[in-house]
Amino acid sequence: MEWIRRYVTQRSAAKREGLSNFEGVLMPSVRKLIEKNARDIYGLRVIPVDVFEFEVDDGEESYVVNLTNKTCHCGSWTLIGIPCKHAMACIVLRKLDANEFVHEAYHIERYAKTYGPKFHGMPGHKMWPTTTFAKPLPPPFRKMPGRPDKRKRKKEADEGKGGNKAATVVREYKPRKCSNCGDLGHYKKKCKNPPKPPTTKEKSKGGRPKKGSSSTQQLTTNDMPCTSSQPQTQSASCVIDQISQIK
């Protein structure tokens, strides 16, 4: 906010100093525009309809100009408040003063009133008088609905690397831990160390045995006891009976 106050103060002072170089009734830029429009009236055909109302032919188009209402159908005069070339053709035809048809906002007198109020200097904040009022607090934070915007806002001059480094928020660095050997600084894909031995917690963990491990035993026909009269050979009916009992 401080740079805004100083910018407005310097601009107002510069505008007041520039008023001494202005001459006449209108601002220099407005006077140049009127002179340009006055040079462009050649080739226009002006047809008087009334004392202050005209039809102006500009090529294939025709525009109605009313000097009393300060209007032209081209819209330029109404938009910026400066007579267009169609209006200037009518003003020259009636031998009137073009300054009277310009909006008063472009007059030097109004310009001087705009930048008339002066700004006074302000000391540093350490010299400000203390008050008993409570310090202003920021509004309460409210989380807006929807996905948060990922675009970063533009930082001020005293934020981040460009200003006060203490205001920079640095993310806490956490070193990587390898899941194979347990060391820090690398991960399993680039690990060259042997795997770490299992801990007591990992040994005590129960769970379903993995497929194909030694703890699982597959039941085969050789391990099944057979009640047949022939101990050396197994009949097909004996195997089917044993399988049905297991199910």
* 105: helix, strand or coil: helix
Higher per-residue pLDDT: 37 or 182: 37
Amino acid type, 209? P
Q: Tens digits of per-residue pLDDT, 187-216?
A: 888 888 888 887 766 555 555 555 554 444
Contacts of 62 (CB under 8 A, 6+ apart): 55, 56
DSSP H/E element including 46: strand 45-48
Question: What does the alpha-carbon distance between residue 47 and residue 110 come to, in Å, rounded to a whole number?
Answer: 35
Determine contact, residues 181/173, Cβ cutoff 8 Å.
no
- Mean pLDDT to the nearest integer, 73-97: 93
The structural domains of the chain, with segments of one domain joined by +, span: 2-114
Higher per-residue pLDDT: 152 or 178: 178
Determine contact, residues 86/57, Cβ cutoff 8 Å.
no
What per-residue confidence (pLDDT) applies to 229? 47
Cβ density class 58-95: b for 16+ within 10 Å, e for less: beeeebebbbeebebbbebbeeeebbbbbbbbbbeeee
| pTM of the shown model | 0.49
Q: Tens digits of per-residue pLDDT, 108-167?
A: 989 888 888 888 888 888 888 888 898 889 999 988 898 877 777 777 776 665 445 555
Mean of the per-residue pLDDT values for the chain?
A: 79
Q: Tens digits of per-residue pLDDT, 214-242?
A: 444 444 444 445 444 444 444 555 656 66
Determine contact, residues 195/182, Cβ cutoff 8 Å.
no
What per-residue confidence (pLDDT) applies to 53? 93
Question: What does the alpha-carbon distance between residue 29 and residue 86 come to, in Å, rounded to a whole number?
Answer: 20
What per-residue confidence (pLDDT) applies to 159? 66
Closest C-alpha to 83, from 52, 114, 108 = 52
- Mean pLDDT to the nearest integer, 8-28: 88
Angstrom distances, CA of residue 216 to CA of 135, 210, 219, 224, 228: 74, 8, 10, 16, 28
Determine contact, residues 85/44, Cβ cutoff 8 Å.
yes
Determine contact, residues 10/57, Cβ cutoff 8 Å.
no
What per-residue confidence (pLDDT) applies to 81? 93
| Statement: residue 247 has pLDDT above 80 | no
Phi/psi region, residue 142 (left: phi>0; alpha: psi -120 to 50; beta: rest), is beta
Contacts of 226 (CB under 8 A, 6+ apart): 234, 235, 238, 239, 242
Whole-angstrom Cα Rg for the chain: 47
Determine contact, residues 54/77, Cβ cutoff 8 Å.
no
List, as one string, the DSSP characters of 126-176. GGSPP-SSPPP-PPPP-PPSSSPP-SPPPP-TTSGGGS-GGG---PPP---
What per-residue confidence (pLDDT) applies to 233? 47
